[in-house]
Amino acid sequence: MLLLSAEDGWCDTFPPRLEAAGTDIELCLCVAAREVGGETGPFLRPVVLPDDISWL
């Protein structure tokens, strides 16, 4: 399952909802950004779909 959110924070919103649905939270991974190379060195940027599908 891929869960996308542009507004809600991970820690305060999703674990309680996922646990209430019976999810083993230890199996979940939060990906907030991706490190990419730039002209001045690596930097973090948000995950972009569909561009990052193969990376995910």
Q: pTM higher than 0.75 for the full model?
A: no
Q: For 5-40, how does the pLDDT look when each residue is reduced to its tens digit (9 = 90+)?
A: 777 788 888 899 999 999 998 988 888 889 999 889
pLDDT value, residue 50: 92
Cis? peptide before 50, omega within 30° of 0: yes
Q: How far apart are CA 29 and CA 23, in angstroms?
A: 12
Confidence of residue 4 (pLDDT cuts 50, 70, 90): confident
Task: Give the residue among 6, 56, 50 at the shortest CA–CA distance from 29.
Answer: 56
Chain CA centroid to CA 26, Å: 15
Q: Which two tokens stand for residue 15?
A: 């674990």
